[in-house]
Amino acid sequence: MYTILDNINSPADIRNLNMDQLRTLCAELRDYIVRCCAENPGHLGSSLGAVELIVGLHYVYNTPDDKIVFDVGHQAYAHKILTGRRELFRKNRTKDGISGFPRMAESPYDSFGVGHSSTSISAALGLAEAARLKGLDSKVVALIGDGAMSGGLAFEGLNNAGSSKSNLLIILNDNNQSIDSNIGAIHNYLLKITTGDAYNKLKTHIWNKIGDRRLRRFLQKITIDTKSNLVRNTGGAVFEALGFRYFGIVDGNDIVQVVNTLQRLRKLSGPRILHVRTVKGCGYTPALADPATWHAPGKFDPDTGERILSERKAARYQDVFGEVLTEIARKDSRVVGITPAMGSGCGMNILANAMPERFYDVGIEEEHAVTFAAGLAAGGMRPFCNLYSSFSQRAYDQIIHDVALQKLPVVLCFDRAGLVGEDGATHHGCFDLAAYRAIPDAVVAVPSDETMLKDMMYSGLASATGPYIIRYPRGCGEGTDWRNAEPEILTAGKGVKVCDGEKIAVLALGPEVYRAKEAAAAFKEKYGYSPAVYDMRFLKPIDTSILEEVAAGYGYILTAEEGCIKGGLFGAVTEYMAEKGYKPYINGCGIPDRFIGQDRQGAQRSECGLDAAGILTALEKMIAK
């Protein structure tokens, strides 16, 4: 089907191609990525934009001896295809297929595993230092997008790398025009000069001849000031100030420019920044027309670009959050919304469109988002800060130090809690229940459906004694009439019995309540009696009156939570029973003590015993004891 791509089984196969053949290869890669992503949805737009960069890197660098470190991994599809995984890419992000992100266990070409943002520079610096300490001549390249460059960790890495003199090249892939630039004749001339052999040999010779340190510093200052004035409009001055040599801007979708520039830069040493400009969705018209949607568009017809939308059984939790937050903000002028670059993903774009002056997108900066929210709360506002559960881990210290310790009224909404599907282990929100349960004065609320999410958001606004954490899953709710439901202010730490029963009590959190009720009905049909089911609603404070009730009235207790089994609801219940000296038989359904790979959400829940069938099996095992 493809004249060039079908013959590429490793990067070594592309290094004898001429420029025309490389252009053909780039076009074929784009077509293959589009057709594979149409069937198995993934991160399309960024990968289409980075094709020439990745082809150029593997053409110029001797991978896998030379190392390429990706950031997040949304750009990496061409890399996977070129490194012996062309056929496997047809099953990208499926249970038996390859990961959607670079993964060290998957290929020697994946030099560092990624999934979260802004890690590439620090990891690449570590690899470069390891090579230096071992006396290896391997080159290390970090490829980071302009969005990820806004993250605090990226700047920490830049600060360290610039002063380290490590042999590290950082490629800033600017695909959103977020860094001002001036592409012109002077700029291109400077790029050609500063990457050339003659210039760099002369510079090194002069530098070595100057023995006086004060004169070196003086001349270096003149050089930096001169270059800063010339490259300031390209954003290069900040990198020069941090100790990097700055090169760019290069057209990252021109394979000739990419290869020629990389060939020159590979000969240089020390910390360097190459600034490239690419177009997200390059080569595919629908993706160019709507980059935000086509970042991860779901299934679509590759020939027409028509998206194949599945029918939703109910509203998505993210949309419920966005609508309710906007409703609350209209009623209370103190309410503001904060998101770290996830406005559409978390539903806060609804508030942004309705009340832009009350919406803050702070970029990929979870730590800053939480402390910023704390400052707003200290100033009399009532912030709702929405983080993906997996990314909230980055802000753990801020939640403790800046919010809880000062008892500031910040509502923290953790989207994508629990199992998230095809993005896999890097994106599951498994650890939030165990982690945040440990924080004094925190409320940890877990809605079982859309209406309960609405109630808990209103309850969070009414609370004024520290962080009010609400965690809810990715995907659709249970189909409740949440829009017409009058919001109820819930008492923190109070659950409710939702199903009467005998002998066994099931204590559930979140949507596991519905699966537990389904399992209880199946159990009754099979055994003639039903377990009782409780919606605990809150992990912290936990409803001790329910715990006393089940300890006195039931011989068996089963907990059910879509979080890690260690430290969450199961831990809270067993700790309470042990402390009181109660001795019911206790077991738990939760995410086991291992990382769960990519698959469909439903299949992951089945794997972890968190669907109705899994809970029924756990109930049957209990009575068999």
The pLDDT confidence band at residue 181, using thresholds 50, 70 and 90, is: very low
pLDDT recorded at residue 464: 85
**Half-sphere exposure (Cβ direction) of 125: Cα atoms closer than 13 Å:** 21
pLDDT recorded at residue 59: 98
pLDDT exceeds 50 at position 435: yes
What domains, with CATH codes, occur in the chain?
5-291 (3.40.50.970), 317-473 (3.40.50.970), 496-623 (3.40.50.920)
- Which pLDDT tens digit goes with each residue over 200-247? 665 666 656 666 666 665 665 555 455 444 444 556 778 888 899 999
Say how far apart CA 148 and CA 166 lie, in whole Å.
Answer: 21
**What's the predicted TM-score (pTM) here?**
0.86
Mean pLDDT of 243-256: 94
Cα 543–575–558 angle (5° rounding)? 70
Mean pLDDT of 459-483: 96
pLDDT recorded at residue 238: 82
Among all residues, which ones are annotated catalytic?
280, 366, 394
Say how far apart CA 531 and CA 504 lie, in whole Å.
Answer: 5
**Half-sphere exposure (Cβ direction) of 130: Cα atoms closer than 13 Å:** 11
Helix (H, G, I), strand (E, B) or coil at 367: helix
Phi and psi at 61, nearest 5°, equal -95, 150
The pLDDT confidence band at residue 179, using thresholds 50, 70 and 90, is: very low
**Half-sphere exposure (Cβ direction) of 86: Cα atoms closer than 13 Å:** 16
pLDDT recorded at residue 49: 95
Say how far apart CA 559 and CA 564 lie, in whole Å.
Answer: 12
Q: Where do we find the tokens 């008892």? A: 407
pLDDT exceeds 60 at position 110: yes
The pLDDT confidence band at residue 334, using thresholds 50, 70 and 90, is: very high
Q: Is-contact 358 329, C-beta < 8 A?
A: yes
pLDDT exceeds 70 at position 147: yes
pLDDT recorded at residue 178: 42
The pLDDT confidence band at residue 187, using thresholds 50, 70 and 90, is: very low
- Which pLDDT tens digit goes with each residue over 59-106? 999 999 999 999 988 899 999 999 999 999 999 999 989 999 999 999
User: Which amino acid is residue 313, in one-letter code?
Assistant: K
Lowest mean pLDDT among 212-226, 397-411, 575-589: 212-226
End-to-end CA distance of the chain: 60
DSSP letter, residue 402: I
pLDDT exceeds 50 at position 15: yes
Mean pLDDT of 590-601: 96
Radius of gyration of the chain (CA): 27
Say how far apart CA 544 and CA 277 lie, in whole Å.
Answer: 58
